[in-house]
Amino acid sequence: MGLDPAHPFPRILNKSLNFVVSLEGADAFGRSSGTAVVQVPRSLPRLIQLPKDVAGGPYDFVLLSSIVHAQVGDLFPGMQVLSCHQFRVTRNSDLWVDEEEVDDLLKAIKGELSSRNYGDAVRLEVAADCSDETAQFLLDKFHLGPSDLYRVNGPVNLHRLAAMHEMVDRAELKYPAFAPRYPKRFEQEPDPFQVIQQADVLLHHPYESFAPIVELVRLAAQDPDVLAIKQTLYRSGKDSPLVEALIQAARNGKEVAAVVELRARFDEAANIDLATKLQEAGAKVVYGVVGYKAHAKLLLIVRRENGRLKHYVHLGTGNYHAGTARAYTDFGLLTCDKDIGEDVHRLFLQLTGLGRVARLKKLRQSPFTLQRQLIALIDDEAENAKKGKPARIVAKMNALSEPRIIQALYRASQAGVSIDLVVRGICCLRPGVQRVSENIRVRSVIGRFLEHSRIFHFEAGGQKLVFLASADWMQRNFFSRVEVLFPLLDDRVKGRVIAEGLEAYLADNTQAWLLGPDGKYRRAKPGNQKPRTAQLELLERFAL
């Protein structure tokens, strides 16, 4: 598109590939604005494999951007191309819906989806050799300042190189395929309700299969003794087998209630679709609580047994998503503990109805009690340390940024508590600072699977309390979301989580990155020790 009064600067799609071209000469109509924009269709592959007779090798590739650079002159016949630079603009993708004013959240969000790709610009990426004059021209068009400009030496979207994984047939360059292990207890006893009655069941994904959860809901949908199924759905993916099971349950006359979080970022369209399908099948669908994302992972099955109602519960650290269950590390707990079942029942009443905060027996939830409970547990460790008792905290999460939690950890460190934190992403705590955090160590483990589980272990004077949660230690999780923390009551389950979810990662000396007092990460090295990789060891353990 040549830029002139009849062709104003085009609307640029969020994160699309574009080129700004400087030209010399006049076209057939005598136009000579000197500037054009080339917008590359998203339907074109960004990575192109060269034919063997051209490349001379089996796996030679060229980026689409390189082809455009080489051939851009063909788009402007009779004119001279002076320069051609790729650029990409990132736009604010938040959906702005006044939840207090709308009557139907689903319709409001559905109406906003079409405008997501054209939100306010927040970042401009340009080729490293782009001239200052051209860069400023683009900044002005997007109403951005110098601090929003990023010069990129190479492709502006490296993620496109992921396509190479499927295009290259080189087994030695890829992780070997693995099959999640199906828990033996479910193989030996086909009735999952009987399995859960015998003892709590822990599932460690992706090493263990997600299938038992799907099969439990499918069986519940057909079981004449099951009266109700209630579930939270944050991210479930397209064509979810769990959603299909819920639809079947509703059609079979079960009382099905689904809390669908429509505001799960970038899954809004998929969640609108599944909410519509569930409603059409007769399920009761609600969208959580206005102003709070429903991020808790809860499944409740109400079953009539011997004339009484019994609650079967699944609580997890990850989503009810069969796809991410193969790529994310998460824990799930299946239990029919009476107190936990009643707590989950109260939580669903809270999410689907109205009323004051119910007093929970064993669970803690945000935005009400979760942060306060965690600070109390951290402070208790500090008190134990002051009294000379064993005091230790080991926690694993995706992010740590909540100020009061960080202050409590600093106090505990100063009191002598030994603290180990495994934080995959953002960590605003600074470990190893003299007289502040000398007893705190922070590591991040980056490997084949995305570390997603949230585990909190407190020595508690020998009680060895272990909790799992859907929440990270962030302000949004504590105050802007509905989250759940739940205790592990079975010693066998507790031991497994400590060994598989904490100790294995503290021993990792190949894929771990250690955070220093200076705020910089340095990769752990085995040195004279045996190389250890947590994820690999767990894969080998569950393959037995």
Question: Catalytic amino acids?
Answer: 295
Q: For residue 190, what are its two tokens?
A: 């086909």
Nearest 5°: phi and psi at 365?
-135, 150
Q: Report how far residue 531's alpha carbon sits from residue 510's, in angstroms, rounded to the nearest whole number.
A: 6
Phi and psi based region of residue 120 (left: phi greater than 0; alpha: psi -120 to 50; beta: remaining): beta
Rounded to 10 degrees, the C-alpha dihedral 532/536/542/544 comes to -80
DSSP assignment of 341-378? HHHHHHHHHHHHS--SPPPPSS-EEETTTHHHHHHHHH
Q: Contact, 303 vs 222, CB < 8 A?
A: no
Q: Contact, 242 vs 214, CB < 8 A?
A: yes
Give, for 67, the enclosing helix (H) or strand (E). helix 64-71
Q: For residue 224, what are its two tokens?
A: 């004449």
Q: For residue 295, what are its two tokens?
A: 């991020």
Please tell me the chain's helix, strand, coil percentages from 3-state DSSP, rounded to the nearest 5: 35, 25, 40
Q: Report how far residue 309's alpha carbon sits from residue 464's, in angstroms, rounded to the nearest whole number.
A: 32
